[in-house]
Chain A
C-alpha cells in the first residue's frame, strides 16, 4: 500500500514537471485565470512522507492495541484492524482525490459545504446511531460517519474563504462576531448530540484561523467571559463533567471509579519506561485501558515503544505541524494559506489535547489521536484534509 502511494506520488511529481502534458496545461490555464499567474509544482515531499509514515504507524499500532479487546469482544483479534485498514484504503483514495483537486474551487463550494454539514449535524440527534449515550454517527450497519468530521473541514474552508475575501474587515469586532456566531451555531448543534470534545476542537481551530487571519487579539478577551460562563453552565447541566475534572486532579482518589480510566492510562505509560515492553507486549491493553485502540492508544504506544517511541511519534506530529505552517507561509494566496493553517491547527489541537488527556495533564475528554485512533470514517476525512494541504503545497506564485 505504501509503495503504491509512493509510486503514484512519483508519477504525479514526474507529470508535474512535464509542462508538455496536455491535460496539465489545460488545468493550469483554468487556474491561471482565477489566480493571477500561479505555477504548479510538485507536492511538499516532507509533508507527504510524514503523512504516510503516520498512517502506516497508526495502522500497526491499532492492530497491536486492538487485538485483545477485539479478541474478547468479538472473538476475532483482527476485528478492528480489518475495519481500520479498509478506512485507510478509502482514505488513500480520498487523499489522492483532494491532492489533485484545485483548492481554489473550494471558494465557491465552502458556503454550500458548511450549510450541508450543518444540516447533517441537525439530523444526527434524530436519525443518528446511539453509542454510549450520545448520537454522533450517521449511517447503516458498520458503515457510519461522524458528520462533525465533515463540519470541521467545511468550517475551515468557509473561514478561509471568508477571511481571505474580507481582507482587513476582520479587524472590526462586528465582523469577528459573525464568525463567532457561526461557531456558536455549530456548538449548539454539536451539543445536541452531545459532542463536547468536537466543540473544543472546532472552537480552538476557529480561533487559531481567526487570529492568523488578522483578528485583533484583544477582541478575544471579550469572549473569555461568555466562554467561562458557558463552561460553568455545562458543568452544572451535566455533573459527570465535574467528576471528570476531579478525577484529573487526583485520579487515585477513586481508583475503581472515576479515576480508573486515567490510572490505567498512567500505568500503561509508566510501564513503558525508556524503551518500552516491545511491540505487541502491552499488558494494559488487556481490558485495563478502556478503548486501547481508540482515545487511549497513545498510552499503549508509550507502553510498548517506551519514551523513545512516544517521542518519535510526537516528533512526527511536530514535523507535520512545521511542514504545514511552512506550506501556509509559502502558499500563493491567503485562501490557501488559511486552509492549511486551519487543517494544521485541527490536527495539532487534537494531538495536543489527546496526549494531554492520556498523560493526565488535563481533564479527560474524548478526543481521538489523529492517524492512530481507530475512529473509522475520521481517518478518511483526515486524509482528505491532508490531500488538500498537499494540493495547496503545489502552487507557487509565478516569479515576475
Chain B
C-alpha cells in the first residue's frame, strides 16, 4: 500500500466542499421554511391541530319598560359527535382492554333511544367521514344528563341556548323571533341582534391526526360574553289592552286584512304599544295562524310551489302592518291639512264654507262623505264633521308648494328611523303629477300613502306643541346587573307648526269627539281629541275600506295617542267613526286609568257617575231607606216585612246615580223579569224602557257623556234581550253615534 496521492486528496476536499455547499443550501431552505414562511405554515398547522368549538353566549333578555321579560333565553344542550374519533377508536379495538372497546352500533342505539331519533339515521351519521356532526340540538338538561352519564367515546355535549317567549303571541310583531342558531329573524330580535347575541366563547383544544384530544395538552377557554338586555318602551299592560281590543274589534267587524294599533307617549315619542292583528306564537313562528292560509298551502302538491306559498303566507303573517304597510290615511289626514292651513294662516276657524255634497275640481266632481252635503258651515265645523269639500278648498288655499313642504316636514315620505325592520316610506305624487285634483284629494287624505307609524308621529307633533318626535321602541340597553349601558333619549326631529296652531288643533280635534264624527271615542272623565278616517281602497268602487281612528288625550295637555286601523271590515259598517273609534275609546280608557291620569268630570258626567251600592241586608227598613238615599239612590220595597232580608243589586255593585235598589223584606219572594230589547233606542227611550221593566240601566259608550246627542242609538246591551233576571238588575247599554266617517 502507498500514501494517498495529491490528486486524491484534492478530490476528497472537493467532495467535502460539495457536501458543505449542499448543506448550506439546505440550511438556506430551512431559513426560508422556518423563518420566512414559518408563520404561514404554523398557521395552517395550528388550524389542523386545533378543535375550535363555540360556547354559546347567553342571549340578552327583551324587557318591557317595567322590566317584565318578554323574551328570555334558557340553557339547553346540543349533542354532537366526532365520527372520526369513534371510527378510529373502533379500529383500535384489538389493542385495548375489553372495557375500552368501542361499539358504534351500541352508541347509535343509546343515542336513538334516549333522544328518540331514528336508529339508522343516527348510525349513518356516526359512520360519516367527518369530525363533527349534530346528533340533536337544543336538548333539555335532564335528557342531556342521561347521555352524559353514559360517557360514550366521541359523543360531546355543548352548551346551547333556547329562546322562550313567555307570553306566546304577545307583541309578536315587535319582539320578533330567533332561528335555530339563536339569530334574530324579525322585530327587535333582528334589529338588536348584535347587542342581544353577545360574543360566543370558544374552547380551543389540541387534537391529533386521529381526531382525538391530545392527552398532554390543556384546553384553552375563552368565556362567552352574555348579550345585552334590551328594555323596550312598550308597556306590557298597555300592549295587552291594545291587543285585546284590537282583536275584539277585528273579530266583531270580520276584517279581511287584519288590523293595527299604535299607542304612543306624545311628549317623548315612545311607543307604549304596537299591535298587528292577527299575532302569531313566537315560540312557533312557522305555524300558520290563519286556517285559510294553511288550507291554501295544503292544497298545493308541487314541493317547490308549496315552499314558495308557505314563504309567502309566513311573510304575510310576520308583517308588521303598523310599520311596513303604507296606506291612504283618509280623513285622519285632515288633522294634518288643517294644521298646515292654520299655520300658514290661510284659514280662520270661523271662515264660512258651503258643502253641497260635492265639489268640482279640475273638471271632476269629488263628493263629500255625507250624501246631500253639510250645507253652510264654518272651517271648524268642516273639521268636526269631516267635510271633504271644505278641505278641498282649504287644500287649494295652502297650495302645492306648502302642501308638499308640510307633508315632508311632518315626516311623511321618509322613514322615521324606527327600531323595526322593513319600514316603508310611503308615497307622494311626482311633481308633474301633483295637480289640482291630486291636491284636492290629498287634502282629505286620499292619494298619498303613509304608514300608521308616520301618521302617529305626525299627529303626535300636532298635539305636542308642534314638535315632531322620533318614534322609538327601545328605551335603554342594560347589562345583567340591571345597570344601564345606554339610554335612548327622546329626539325632537323638528318643530313643524307653532304652539299656538297646536293648541287650536287640539281644541278642534276635541270637538270632533265631543260633537262631531268621533263621538264614539268619548271617554268619561277625559278630554279626548281625535279624528276619524275611512278610505276606500284602490281600486275604488269595490267597497273595500280601511277604517281608522286616531285619538289622543287629554286635549288640554296631550299625553297619550292611539291609532287603530281596521283593514277591510265586512260585518256591516266600515266607518272609522263607528268601528275604530270605540276601539280607541276602550284602549284609551284603560290606558289613561292605568297611567293614573286623573279624570276630570264635567257637570253632566258627574251627575251620571256610578255610585257604590251599600249593604242594607239585615237592617231595619227605616235605616235601610236612609242609607240608600244617602248614596243618591232610590229604593223600592217588595214584601211587607220590617227588616231587609235581601237586596238587588247586591252590595258592592256600581250603579248610576238615581238607580233603584230593590229591597226584599220577606224570604223567597224574589221577583224576576224578562229583559226587553233596547237596541237602536235613544238614551232616553232605553232608560224609560228598562225602568218600566223594573231594571236599572248603566250607560256605556257615548251615552255616558250625559249629553243628549242626536243620532246616538243603543248598539249593545248586557244581559241580552230575553234573559230572565231579578228585578233591579243592572243592564249595561252601550250607545254608539252613527258617524258617517
Interface residues of A (CB under 8 A from B): 35, 68, 71-75, 104, 164, 208, 211-214, 266-274, 283-284, 286-288, 302, 306-307, 310-311, 314, 317-318, 321-322, 325, 328-329, 331-335, 337, 341, 344-345, 348, 351-352, 355-356, 359, 361, 397
The residue from B5, B12, B206 contacting A341, defined by CB atoms under 8 A apart: B12
Chain B: CB-nearest residue to A167: B2
| Contact status B48-A288, CB under 8 Å | yes
The residue from A35, A211, A307, A361 contacting B11, defined by CB atoms under 8 A apart: A211
| Contact status A307-B15, CB under 8 Å | no
Contacts of A307 in B (CB 8 A): 30-31, 34-35
Chain A: CB-nearest residue to B92: A72
Contacts of B19 in A (CB 8 A): 318, 321, 348, 352
| Contact status A302-B12, CB under 8 Å | no
| Contact status B23-A318, CB under 8 Å | yes
Contacts of A211 in B (CB 8 A): 11, 15
Contacts of B4 in A (CB 8 A): 328-329, 331, 333-334, 337
| Contact status B42-A164, CB under 8 Å | no
| Contact status A270-B30, CB under 8 Å | no
A215 to chain B, nearest CB (A): 10
Of A286, A306, A348, most B-chain CB atoms within 10 Å = A286
The digit string for B1-30, where 1 denotes a CB below 8 A from any CB of A, is 111110111011101100110110111011
* Interface range, B side: 35 or more
Complex Cα distance, B33 from A351, in Å, reads 18
| Contact status A266-B26, CB under 8 Å | no
| Contact status B41-A266, CB under 8 Å | yes
| Contact status A288-B208, CB under 8 Å | yes
Complex Cα distance, B9 from A214, in Å, reads 10
A328 to chain B, nearest CB (A): 5
| Contact status B38-A212, CB under 8 Å | no
Given A68-B208, A273-B34, A310-B30, decide whether A328 and B12 contact each other with a Cβ distance below 8 A: yes
Contacts of B35 in A (CB 8 A): 273-274, 307
Cross-chain pairs A/B with CB under 8 angstroms, 23 sampled: A104-B1, A212-B11, A214-B11, A270-B40, A271-B46, A273-B38, A273-B39, A273-B42, A274-B38, A283-B206, A284-B45, A286-B49, A286-B209, A288-B49, A311-B27, A321-B20, A328-B4, A334-B3, A334-B8, A352-B23, A359-B29, A359-B30, A359-B33
Complex Cα distance, B25 from A302, in Å, reads 16
Given A271-B41, A307-B35, decide whether A325 and B208 contact each other with a Cβ distance below 8 A: no
| Contact status A311-B16, CB under 8 Å | no
Of B5, B9, B13, B209, most A-chain CB atoms within 10 Å = B209
Complex Cα distance, B31 from A202, in Å, reads 30
Given A212-B8, A318-B23, A361-B26, decide whether A272 and B34 contact each other with a Cβ distance below 8 A: yes
| Contact status A334-B29, CB under 8 Å | no
A326 to chain B, nearest CB (A): 9
Chain B: CB-nearest residue to A307: B34
The residue from B30, B46, B206, B209 contacting A302, defined by CB atoms under 8 A apart: B30
Apart from A267-B44, A329-B12, what are 17 other A-B pairs with CB-CB below 8 Å? A72-B210, A208-B15, A211-B15, A214-B7, A214-B8, A267-B41, A271-B41, A273-B38, A307-B30, A325-B15, A329-B13, A334-B1, A334-B4, A337-B4, A337-B12, A356-B26, A361-B26
A214 to chain B, nearest CB (A): 7
| Contact status A335-B1, CB under 8 Å | yes
Given A307-B35, A329-B4, decide whether A270 and B45 contact each other with a Cβ distance below 8 A: yes
Complex Cα distance, B8 from A328, in Å, reads 10
Chain B: CB-nearest residue to A68: B208
Chain A: CB-nearest residue to B9: A329
Contacts of B133 in A (CB 8 A): none
| Contact status A271-B38, CB under 8 Å | yes
Chain A: CB-nearest residue to B43: A270
Complex Cα distance, B15 from A216, in Å, reads 15
| Contact status A325-B12, CB under 8 Å | yes
Chain A: CB-nearest residue to B42: A271
| Contact status A314-B33, CB under 8 Å | no
Report if B66 contacts A (CB, 8 A): no
| Contact status A164-B1, CB under 8 Å | yes
Chain B: CB-nearest residue to A334: B4
| Contact status B12-A267, CB under 8 Å | no
Contacts of B29 in A (CB 8 A): 359, 361
Report if B37 contacts A (CB, 8 A): yes
A158 to chain B, nearest CB (A): 16
Chain B: CB-nearest residue to A71: B215
Given A72-B210, A332-B3, decide whether A317 and B34 contact each other with a Cβ distance below 8 A: no
Complex Cα distance, B38 from A283, in Å, reads 15
Complex Cα distance, B349 from A344, in Å, reads 117
Contacts of A318 in B (CB 8 A): 19-20, 23
| Contact status B3-A266, CB under 8 Å | no
| Contact status A270-B12, CB under 8 Å | no
Chain A: CB-nearest residue to B211: A287
Complex Cα distance, B24 from A314, in Å, reads 9
Report if B295 contacts A (CB, 8 A): no
3 tightest A-B CB contacts, nearest first: A270-B41, A286-B208, A287-B209
Report if B595 contacts A (CB, 8 A): no
Contacts of B208 in A (CB 8 A): 68, 72, 286-288
Given A286-B214, A288-B209, decide whether A270 and B33 contact each other with a Cβ distance below 8 A: yes
Contacts of B46 in A (CB 8 A): 271
| Contact status A283-B45, CB under 8 Å | yes
Contacts of A397 in B (CB 8 A): 3
Complex Cα distance, B74 from A383, in Å, reads 68
The residue from B5, B16, B42 contacting A270, defined by CB atoms under 8 A apart: B42
A110 to chain B, nearest CB (A): 13
- Which residues, 270 to 321 on B, are CB-close (under 8 Å) to A? none
Contacts of A284 in B (CB 8 A): 45, 49
Contacts of B668 in A (CB 8 A): none
Report if B98 contacts A (CB, 8 A): no
Report if B622 contacts A (CB, 8 A): no
Report if B96 contacts A (CB, 8 A): yes
Complex Cα distance, B222 from A227, in Å, reads 60
| Contact status A352-B33, CB under 8 Å | no
Contacts of A321 in B (CB 8 A): 16, 19-20
